[in-house]
Amino acid sequence: MPKTFYWRGVLVPFITPWSAEAAPSPPVVVRHGIGGTGLGYPDEDPRADRWNDALWARLPATRGVGVPNFAGIHALRQRQAMRRELCQVCGGPTFGTLPDERTLYLLGARDSDPIREGETTQAPPVHADCARLAIRECPHLRRGWAAALVQYAPAWGVAGIPYDPKTLTALPGPAGAPDGLVEVPYTDEARMRWVLAAREIVRLHGVQAVTDLAALSEACTTTHWRPSVH
């Protein structure tokens, strides 16, 4: 069963990176592949390093080792959570935990404006119980959050580090962008070739705002497991 991690009494979400995971991604090279030229690794493993043609950052996955970096997001656990509909707080599966097979999303850092139909997000799903726990314990959510039940959330693109095709140096992201990352849709194949992906982005469809998470928890099916605390 997935564990809810705590560090010195503070909740550490599944997608939070730890200090032992802080190694830089290895240098990239120019790769001439199917469909064009773009970034690659000299020893690239297409099954591990590429998803939907995007090249992903490589980093260790040693959850729970060292000190958590609450300001960061672990690229590979974030992607895993998006792809498998895992809870961003505890890492457990969210599919089937709500009565009508919808999925709950919780977005922070907003001034009580609701989640919009068709909005894109880098935040993976969350359990109703874990959403309540996170709102209680995570400072950035105490400052404002919005939640919604979502019918489906197809992959939209990635957020990543843009590279100069001529010099292969990392370029700054757009001003004000979270973590300095540029967002690129999967439909933009030309730009996707020169971005090192660090977040999966999905688009939210069939959105219904949720303001009463306690009532939603009560409505969860009896087969819904509750996170164990360690």
Task: Specify the stretch interacting with Zn ion by CB under 5 A; choose among 68-76, 97-105, 130-138, 152-160.
Answer: 130-138
The CB-of-109 to Zn ion minimum distance in angstroms stands at 20
Task: Specify the stretch interacting with Zn ion by CB under 5 A; choose among 52-60, 121-129, 141-149, 208-216.
Answer: 121-129
Positive or negative torsion for Cα 85, 94, 125, 181: negative
Q: Is 198 left (phi over 0), alpha (psi -120 to 50) or beta?
A: alpha
Eight-state DSSP code of residue 69: -
Please state whether beta strands 195-203 and 54-56 pair in parallel, antiparallel, or not at all (unpaired): parallel
Name which of residues 93 to 112 contact Zn ion (CB under 5 A): none
Query: Using CB under 5 A, which of 89, 98, 148, 192 touches Zn ion?
Result: 89
CA 169/CA 162 separation, integer angstroms: 9
DSSP E strand stretches across 22-86: 29-33, 36-40, 50-51, 54-56
Sheet of strand 3-7, all strands in order from the earlier edge strand to the far edge = 10-12, 3-7, 228-229
Should residue 87 be labelled a site residue for Zn ion when binding is judged by CB under 5 A?
Answer: yes
The CB-of-135 to Zn ion minimum distance in angstroms stands at 13
Task: Specify the stretch interacting with Zn ion by CB under 5 A; choose among 113-121, 122-130, 177-185, 202-210.
Answer: 122-130
Nearest CB to Zn ion, comparing residues 87 and 195: 87
CA 158/CA 197 separation, integer angstroms: 6
Give the count of residues interacting with Zn ion (CB under 5 A): 6
Nearest CB to Zn ion, comparing residues 127 and 132: 127
Name which of residues 169 to 208 contact Zn ion (CB under 5 A): none
The CB-of-130 to Zn ion minimum distance in angstroms stands at 3
Should residue 15 be labelled a site residue for Zn ion when binding is judged by CB under 5 A?
Answer: no
Task: Specify the stretch interacting with Zn ion by CB under 5 A; choose among 29-37, 89-97, 106-114, 137-145.
Answer: 89-97
Query: Using CB under 5 A, which of 63, 102, 127, 132 touches Zn ion?
Result: 127
| C-alpha separations of 190 from 35, 86, 160, 208 in Å | 10, 30, 14, 35
Task: Specify the stretch interacting with Zn ion by CB under 5 A; choose among 55-63, 82-90, 168-176, 202-210.
Answer: 82-90
Radius of gyration of the chain (CA): 18
The residues that touch Zn ion, with contacts defined as CB under 5 A, are 87, 89-90, 92, 127, 130
